[in-house]
Copies of this chain bind each other. A is one copy, B any other.
Amino acid sequence: MPFANGIAMTGMEELFAKTCEYVRDTARLEATLALLEWDDRTFRPADGGAYRAEQIMQLSGVIHQRRTDDRLGEMLGELSASSLATDPHSDFGATIARLYKDYRRHSRLSVELVQAISKATTLGQQAWEQARHRNDWASFQPHMETIFSLRRREAEMLSDGGPLYDSLLDHYEEGARSQQLSATLAELRTGLIPLVQSLSDAPARPDGRAWRRNVAKDLQRAASRWVAEQVGYDFQRGRLDETSHPFCTTLGPNDCRILTRYQVDYFPSGFYGTLHEAGHGMYEQGLRGQWYGLPPGSAASLGVHESQSRLWENFIGRSRSFWLWAFPKLNSILGGAWHDFDAEQTYRDANRVQPSLIRVEADEVTYNLHILIRFELEMELITGELSCADAPQAWNDRYHRYLGIRPRDFRDGILQDIHWSAGLIGYFPTYTLGNLYAAQLMRTIARDVGNIDEVVQRGEFGEILQWLREHIHCCGRCYEPVSLIERATGQALSAQPLIDYLRTKLDPIHAVG
């Protein structure tokens, strides 16, 4: 509890405690909802889907009711006017400010709209699954129209006059604004497009031989568990399972689970999937448990979350020092499968840059161009500048323009991602924001830790994790993401650190065989 024992509470402190208890009760239900969803994506028997959907709808309804309860609004209104709210970045002040903001957001939405979105996105995801499988855009287009129209309505209900897109974006990345974001991403694009071209024309591109060698799933499982433990993911408070789309979910203050998928003929899929999700998991495990379910014990944003996963997956996991450390141990775990390779080979293969059509398989550089395309399209779709009917063409044209390649079908084009079918609009840019944040963070960590390459090469990740715990995890949601990163790094949001990092690492790899 936020109050020391034995000290008498003021009336306002009592109201604060009561409000927190109410929100904690809701969080307990949210954790139960997360279990329904985790199980749905892992162990639920095939025929149990329809009933599971009913259970999820039911509990979502109970939670929405609690979130928009008038009494909650009254309590938060009173607290907002009190001295406890004076410092908006203190634990108390942030709790009041963020909860009140969430309450007002939820209360602006009618139950009808919330239910309509829930229904449309459930149907939308089912239709998307089918449509993608059959490469059938026409069957999905009406769902996409409904979903964009409902979320546009939501944005209108939420907007205070700014761009509609920003109302949606704010839900995933508090305080982010499309105008500033567009400028930063344009700067990034300007830096990356020539980089992709120069790397594609480079004399000595990694050949990916190590990644093309078959590795049995059991060995991959052992490798994944090992690396997650090494970087600091706590299995007493988590577990690693398998699913078709890797994710991380939190089911309580001491229960954060990660999931990956293994491909026999493509080792990095399971390995980097695990490292990525372990990064998410360590963020959740680093939040302050006594504030679980409340802003000081919650993640700052999706972008900050992604910065943690990308930092471990890419900035550390694709570094030369990482492979100098990991190679002999991994080769041994994999039963000597790489006996004719060395650390240099796996390091190079982990950094192969190649324009491709599928986002989730993209390398560190082109990944951001995939995101940029989605960000630009969904902004135009939400304003109505672009119609859903014209979206596939616009998608393909932009792939040609930014990546020099053009999808031959819908499956490898606009139907590849689940996000829009699930109503996730304003979500995509947080992936690239995560990369930008991670580049800024990694530069600062390198400065603070000093001999970062040696630390990683010795497999001593504790110091890095500790730095993140202190500068990011412990702050919870007490600062908006950009402020949080600026406080931690001393630098405003910028594309330059990411561009510098990529150039510095990738140019030499592609220059020499």
List residues of chain A with CB under 8 Å of any chain B CB.
25, 28-29, 31-32, 35-36, 39, 43-48, 50-52, 54-55, 58-59, 235-239, 241, 251-255, 257, 292
Contact = CB atoms under 8 A, between A and B. Distances in A.
B47 A29 contact: no
A236 B50 CA distance: 13
B44 A255 contact: yes
Contact of A48 (B36, B48, B58, B254): B254
A493 B255 CA distance: 48
A238 to B, nearest CB: 5
Contact of A45 (B32, B55, B255): B255
A236 B25 contact: no
Contact of A253 (B36, B46, B51, B252): B51
A85 B257 CA distance: 49
Q: How many copies are assembled?
A: 2
Nearest to A38: B39
B28 A54 contact: yes
Contacts of A292: 51
Contacts of A238: 45
Query: 5 closest pairs, A vs B, by CB?
Result: A48-B255, A51-B252, A47-B254, A47-B237, A48-B254
10 contacts: A25-B58, A28-B58, A32-B32, A32-B59, A44-B255, A45-B238, A45-B239, A48-B252, A51-B254, A55-B252
Nearest to A51: B252
A337 to B, nearest CB: 22
Given A48-B237, A252-B51, A32 B36 contact: yes
Given A28-B58, A35-B35, A35-B39, 20 more contacts: A25-B58, A28-B54, A28-B55, A31-B51, A31-B55, A32-B59, A39-B39, A43-B239, A43-B241, A45-B236, A45-B238, A45-B254, A45-B257, A46-B236, A46-B237, A47-B254, A48-B251, A48-B255, A51-B253, A51-B292
A252 B52 contact: yes
Nearest to A32: B55
A292 to B, nearest CB: 8
Contacts of A254: 45, 47-48, 50-51
A252 B237 CA distance: 28
A59 B46 CA distance: 26
Given A35-B36, A36-B35, A29 B48 contact: no
A213 to B, nearest CB: 25
